[in-house]
Structure 1
Amino acid sequence: MAKHIYCRHSIELEVPFFDVDAMYIVWHGHYVKYLEVARCAFLSAIGYDYNEMGRQGFSWPVVQMNLKYVKPARFGQHIRVEAAVVEIESCLRIDYTISDSESGAKLTKASTTQVAVSLENGEMQFQTPESWLSAVQRHPTFEAV
């Protein structure tokens, strides 16, 4: 059974020189940064960025991350980072695909899981806050289950 995708968001980036190694391929640790840039763009698009999370009384730490490198990204390459939101009720789980912008060739698959933690008492929330659910439902591509 295929996963339900609540919404999608994507960004385009050009691989900068300072992200590559001596062979002009992206050092593996920089892919995490690309995921963060895509996630921040999605959160800004729904009006629920990290500042808003704090105003709502929550932090959202990453509790799990998985990456599978398929092909290397290279200096100067234009890449697309697509974020597919696959869980919103018990956590924020996003599946990512990084691909070559021109050919569409898949470079990396990844996922991150974040949970809401109360800033007041430091307790993990086992259901995501209503403020989060309302925000994600405003994304233009949102589809309920």
Structure 2
Amino acid sequence: MNKELITQTKLQVRFSECDSLQIVWHGNYLKYFEEGREDFARKHGISYLDAKQNGVATPIVKSCCEHKLPLKYADVFTVETTFVNTNAAKIIYKYRIFKAEQLICTGETVQVFIDEKGELVLNNPSFFLDWKKKMMLI
């Protein structure tokens, strides 16, 4: 199916996220992506706690961020988080951060499933497949 699940999360740059020039330090963009994932989870009913309750964790194994323009102290911006549907046993999100209509950066994270022993889970856990069915992704 080609249904896309997308959320828009509004945030504001805090002073502690900036360097001495009042420009957002590059590492904070990954935190903004995490804010987008958390908001996605609340809005679409799939969270880290769901994974934990089903005996798995979802560590990030890949993250990338391509910076276009800087954010500065007090800027209000939007994190657009898009779930990438795949048959593989992983969770992929794409991100775009905008200030008004300006594209600030793009990015992606990839998470996998591991069991309580830290072993990679090669098949999608049943709770995740159930969620995908509920969302009409499969």
TM-score, structure 2 length as denominator? 0.89
Q: Distance in 2 between matches of 1:122 and 1:135?
A: 23
**Contact 1:88-1:128 at 8 Å conserved across structures:** no
Does 2:98 align with 1:99? yes
> What residue number does 1:46 align with?
44
Deviations, residues 83-112 of structure 1 (Å, cap 9, x unaligned): 111134321000000111x2x100010000
**Contact 2:60-2:109 at 8 Å conserved across structures:** yes
Return the offset for 1:135: 2.3
> What residue number does 1:6 align with?
4
Q: Structure 1 stretches (4+) deviating beyond 2 angstroms?
A: 44-48, 133-138, 142-145
Q: Distance in 2 between matches of 1:5 and 1:71?
A: 30
Does 2:137 align with 1:144? yes
Gaps of 5+ in 2: none
Q: How does 1:106-145 map to 2 (within 5 A)?
A: 106-119=103-116, 121-138=117-134, 142=135, 144=137
> What residue number does 1:15 align with?
13
Does 2:66 align with 1:73? no
Q: Distance in 2 between matches of 1:5 and 1:124?
A: 28
Return the offset for 1:21: 1.0
Distance change >3 Å, CA 136–CA 36, structure 1 → 2: farther
Deviations, residues 56-94 of structure 1 (Å, cap 9, x unaligned): 110000000011000001111111001111134321000
Structure 2 letter corresponding to 1:126 = L
Would you say how many aligned residue pairs link Structure 1 and Structure 2? 136
TM-score, structure 1 length as denominator? 0.85
Deviates more, 1:82-91 or 1:10-19: 82-91
Distance change >3 Å, CA 137–CA 42, structure 1 → 2: farther
Structure 2 letter corresponding to 1:112 = T
Gaps of 5+ in 1: none
Return the offset for 1:52: 1.9
